[in-house]
A and B are shown apart, each in its own frame.
Chain A
Amino acid sequence: MIEPLKVLIVEDEALLAMELESLVEEAGHSVVGWATSSAEARKAVDTTDADIAFVDIHLTDGPTGVDVARYIGERRKSMVVFMTANPKRIPDHFAGAIGVIAKPYTMNGLLSALRYLQEGVRRPPPKSARPAGFTLSPAFETVWAPTS
């Protein structure tokens, strides 16, 4: 049994955050915080101890999700997965994030992504197949999904 993940949700839409929290917890993981803006996100990063942060690109204070990812990366406290309806806004280097779950994701797609990420974070590289709608960053592609 792999140890469950502690998840930080950075998402400005309350409804999506609520439902995401339910799905994360139903899958056996825990949610340690929810932030809607980059300032809230920074505070949550400093005061909680998450394994992974799901970060939307567009927050209440604008397209600041990439800054949040960079902030998390600098502190080396948790890993980042973007969750956005606009993956084209993510810079090529992904600001150090593992990858992106493209919105709209499906319930099964999200549950598969959680399983995949749990394996990847706890016992890399992940054994499950990469779920549809989940894209790895170039840096993690070479480590988690080497072609050779």
Chain B
Amino acid sequence: MDWKRTRESADAWHMTDDLHVEHGKGDPFAAAIRATRMSMIITDPRQADNPIVFANDAFLRLTGYQRQEVLGRNCRFLQGPKTDKAAVEKLRKAVDGVVDTSIDILNYRKDGSTFWNALYISPVSNDRGELLFFFASQLDVSDRKRSERRITADKERFEKAVQERTQELEAALEARTTLLHEVDHRVKNNLQMIASLILMQRRTIKDEAARQSLTTTLERIEALSTMHRRLYQSKDVGRLDVSDFARDLISDLLTASGRTHINSKLDLEPVSISAEKATPVALIVNELVTNALKHAFSEQPDGTATGNIGIRMSQPDGHLNIEVSDDGVGMAGTVSETSFGMRLIKSLAKQLHAEIGWHDAAPGTKVVISIPNEPQHKENAS
């Protein structure tokens, strides 16, 4: 009896087709579905192969078929060679599972032309939950698909262009880095070469004053060597940590013969300076430290000297402050206004716009330099 009832319902849809002239006007819903611009069909899943039992005019206009050509047929005749198999499979699963689904699928008209169909399928059951029909609506979204495809193509083209440009830039950076390493390598080798030449020359000289003079020159060159070694060890080859440099410099100078009884007191905050400042700062620090080592401490009969030398580095309010102190013989013995070392210090300080002062520390001497330096948080900006 239920079967009979549902058959009647299915036939009722048929009748709206068959009898649309006579009865359509009396059924406002059927009339609306027939007349809407939205393409719609109804299929009967209880007949073999779920055939179309109703198609409105909009469907016929969209697909180009006559009504008698579509009624009684499964709607797969809309599919063609370029229809996505996965989309068809998704549809089949929705129908088998009796669930609604929406999908964009490429369909074919009667004349073989294609259109993108935004298909919506929904099962219709009676109040006892028995499946009666599938209701399906079709919307031609070819324009939307075309612009989607154009956007995708544009995006791909754009991404490809970006990728190509990135590769170019990476190659340029790679070349620049290689070049920088090559130059760095040469600078360091040449510094080693210069130091070697001075050492070789010194071996040939008997005169003590001349030897001393070459030793002082060697120490200045080696201060630059230590600075360069540190400069290129850092992540950013444009900057130097002066505290690291000072640590290397003092440990290097104190291992020299006759200096093993001199102690160092280091109070070093990490302070980063730009590569342009690195050379004058390295030379000034070297000058102050070697000067103290040579003149501040009186030599013992065995040729050794005893004492303390201190280096402090700090960075208050945009200045690099360097303090080199000793507890030796005092300013009269260490500070010579006319020496080349003193002229070197004063010229380099002027280049750095630095203030420099010698103070009597009783015992010993304290030299304080204050160099304008960029704020530390801009460390990576240059």
Considering the complex, which residues of chain A in the window 1-55 have a beta carbon less than 8 Å from any beta carbon of chain B? 13, 15-16, 18-19, 22-23
Q: Which one, B75-83, B251-259, B345-353, is touching chain A?
A: B251-259
Chain A residues whose C-beta falls within 8 Å of the C-beta of B247 in the assembled complex: 132
Tell me whether B197 and A85 are in contact (CB under 8 A).
Answer: no
CB of B225 within 8 A of CB of A105, answer yes
What's the Cα separation between A23 and B218 when bound, in Å?
15
A111 CB contacts on chain B under 8 angstroms: 255
How distant is B218 from chain A, measured CB to nearest CB, in Å?
A: 7
Q: Among residues 40 to 85 in chain B, which have CB atoms less than 8 Å away from a CB atom of chain A?
A: none
Count residues of A near B (Cβ-Cβ below 8 Å): 26
**Total A-B Cβ pairs within 8 A:** 81
Question: A22-B203, A103-B189, A108-B256 in contact; A133/B226 too (CB < 8 A)?
Answer: yes
Q: Report whether B199 and A85 are in contact in the complex, using a CB–CB cutoff of 8 Å.
A: no
> In the complex where A106-B222, A133-B226, A133-B229 touch, is A15 in contact with B197 (Cβ < 8 A)?
yes
Contact with A along B189-217 (1 / 0, CB 8 A): 10111011101100100000000000000
Give chain B residues whose Cβ lies under 8 Å from the Cβ of A107: 195, 199, 218, 222
Q: Number of B interface residues at 8 Å Cβ cutoff, please give it.
A: 28
- Are A132 and B218 also in contact (CB < 8 A) when A103-B189, A104-B195, A112-B255 are? no
Tell me if B252 and A13 are in contact (CB < 8 A). no
Chain A min CB distance to B185 (Å): 5
A88 contact set on B, CB distance < 8 A:
181
Q: Which chain B residues have a beta carbon within 8 Å of chain A's beta carbons?
A: 181, 184-185, 188-189, 191-193, 195-197, 199-200, 203, 218, 222, 225-226, 228-229, 233, 247-248, 251-253, 255-256
Q: Considering only CB atoms, which chain A residue lies closest to B247 in the complex?
A: A132
| Shortest Cβ gap from B232 to chain A (Å) | 9
A107-B222, A109-B252, A111-B255 known; A19+B229 contact, CB < 8 A:
no
